[in-house]
Chains A and B, each alone.
Chain A
Amino acid sequence: MAPLCEMRDISISFGGVRAVDGVSIHVNPGEVVGLLGHNGAGKSTLIKILSGAYKADSGEIYVEGEKASIATPRDARRYNIETIYQTLALADNLDAASNLFLGRELTNWMGFVDDDKMEAETRRIMARLNPNFRKLKEPVSALSGGQRQSVAIARAVYFNAKILIMDEPTAALGVHETQMVAELIQELKKQGLGIFLISHDTREMLELCDRVSVMKNGQLIGTERVEDVTEDDILSMIIMGKKPDKAA
């Protein structure tokens, strides 16, 4: 069976610097694939090509075996690829519902945005994701880090994503909220989503992911199943850029 989503031989340069150099990764339904590497290794750049924020210089993207052309974030959404950005990408001056539906507003029969309906939907999904969420009328600038994260996650989950990209989803969160995100990832996995996860926390990645891919200087060092490697193996891949010696 073809993978749910495959990025094949992707390269992109910025002003002569090869930020991503011939990288191939894929994800299957119900699988979490982690991307590890130093700052500037090219993880976020690679993932932004999939989410439509950047356009690759070369390489192909396949979704469910079909070749996909993704030039803008709107294209990515059409393939049910949703992204939770490290910066959350929220408009701070708007409320939770407006952010959740940004770019995909619900409208009534006259073509006007239907704020009441969007607020009702937001209440519904928030009750599931973060039952303590109350500040529906406030601009999201008035929310805590965890609440803002809930809005960003709700936005990705609400629209029936098949492929979910999470860029440092727990970087700004406390212990309890990090636990909530971990549970959510397990639940989404069960629903058959394919998830790309980016994080700096190697231990967390080994717990959450099925496979991890390590990048260094824009190149893919290797992809390993988590049960085949130790934390030290991964660290040496990140730092030295070498695959662990399997035979030994």
Chain B
Amino acid sequence: MTDVSAPQVKKRTGFQALEVDTRLLGMIGAFLVICFCFNILTEGRFLTPRNIFNLTIQTVSVAIMATGMVFVIVTRHIDLAVGALLATCSAFMAMLQTRYLPDMFGLGLGHPLTPWVTIAAGLLVGSVIGAFQGWLVGFLAIPAFIVTLGGLLVWRNVAWYQTSGQTIGPLDPTFMKFGGINGTLGETWSWIFGILAVAWALWALWSARKAKIAHDFPVKPAWAEATIAGIIAVGILGFIGILNAYQIPERRLERMFEARGETMPEGFTAAYGLPVSVLLLIAVAVAMTLVAQRTRLGRYIFATGGNPDAAELSGINTRMLTVKIFALMGFLCALSAVVASARLTNHSNDIGTLDELRVIAAAVIGGTALAGGIGTIYGAILGALIMQSLQSGMAMVGVDAPLQNIVVGTVLVAAVLIDTIYRKKTGGR
């Protein structure tokens, strides 16, 4: 096919015409290399539907927080308190659903409202604490490093204080559906979701192209657009297919039928499909990307990161912006607290320990610049996935725990080094 709609500018041919972000490509490449290496080292156990399923649900909690950390770092701040804040929210929600709501408010155990009230209250608490930290940073001008370093100690121990250090569980059954293996869509709904996602992606590509043509902007050649559409469709449906290939073990199915007072038919099989927590991460990723690219809030975040003085002189209320960013970060910490405690089926005192480092590392590996102004949501999620793959892969291969951390630390520094060199070569972007 020929280029029909871009008469201006020089024509891009072959691979260039795809106009894909080389940084994104590099990260996907690194991720695939890690996957295939571990697959060889584990004799094919790494890339099984079961392990991929586990990998995704283990990534969700850190990935959700990493999307918020992008905004924090883009505006030249840092949040060291995310793991501790997660623990405080998790402790609060665990106490709320097992003690306060059933006893103090008299809802009793297993009331259908319990999980929803818990989650709403947890998200509110996370946002308020985040907003408070943001107020200290934005309005009282205390450096974010100090505010959140203090927060790290404070919130970690507020969590401890709330539960007296006890493990709180079991949590509400509906609440636990957000954790991963306890809540999945099943085969049919997973496919339906996959098909809807592909349809939406194609529509988005098509309408973006239409808008460009309407303004007489150059567009990619049609074959390039079709190739990208194809890659997206195969990627989404392939991912759903893999998750659907992970069958629920027979024993577990039998128990599920027993619980309903039925007997399992002979030869019955069912797959887990898409976990609810992954669905949640996808929703967060879409929403945060929209905020970053298509809203004024997002524009102001990046402008402030690029040049705080210019943002201020353009009439942007940078103090309030800081409060909003930290409130959003707190909201996402609470959301991660739901996922993390639901996955473990209880709240334990050490939940979220060292998560601040994982989250910051994920954002930074994903291309967020600590100097501010640069970062992407998808990058941070890929960064979280890369970190988790390394960690689980090494655990599967049987690398000693200290060596695992040494490797992860080294990878973080190396990733930033490669990024710095890449930015210099491509001219500061």
- Name A's B-contacting residues (CB within 8 A): 51-53, 72-74, 77, 83, 85, 87-94, 98-99, 102-105, 107, 111-113, 115-117, 119-120, 139, 141-142
Contact = CB atoms under 8 A, between A and B. Distances in A.
B311 interface: yes
A92 B311 CA distance: 11
Contacts of B315: 52, 72-74, 77, 103-104
Nearest to B303: A91
Contacts of A51: 313
Chain B: number of interface residues, binned into ranges: 20 to 34
Interface in B276-303: 290, 294-296, 299-300, 302-303
Interface of B: 211-212, 214-217, 290, 294-296, 299-300, 302-307, 309-316, 373-374, 427-429
A201 B201 CA distance: 57
Contact of A116 (B217, B310, B316, B429): B217
Contacts of A87: 309-310
Given A113-B299, A120-B215, A93 B373 contact: yes
B299 A98 contact: yes
A51 B311 CA distance: 14
Given A85-B313, A89-B307, A93-B302, A142 B427 contact: yes
A93 B374 contact: yes
A90 B307 contact: yes
Contact of A92 (B214, B290, B373): B373
A91 B373 contact: yes
Given A94-B303, A107-B296, A117-B215, A89 B374 contact: no
A147 to B, nearest CB: 15
Contact of B215 (A92, A103, A116): A116
B311 A91 contact: yes
B313 A105 contact: no
Nearest to B311: A91
B6 to A, nearest CB: 13
Contacts of A98: 299, 303
Contact of B310 (A74, A77, A89): A89
A77 B314 CA distance: 9
29 contacts: A53-B312, A53-B313, A85-B313, A89-B307, A89-B310, A90-B307, A91-B303, A91-B306, A91-B311, A92-B306, A93-B302, A94-B302, A98-B303, A99-B310, A102-B299, A102-B310, A102-B311, A102-B314, A104-B315, A105-B296, A105-B299, A107-B296, A112-B294, A113-B295, A116-B211, A116-B214, A139-B429, A141-B429, A142-B427
A209 B306 CA distance: 35
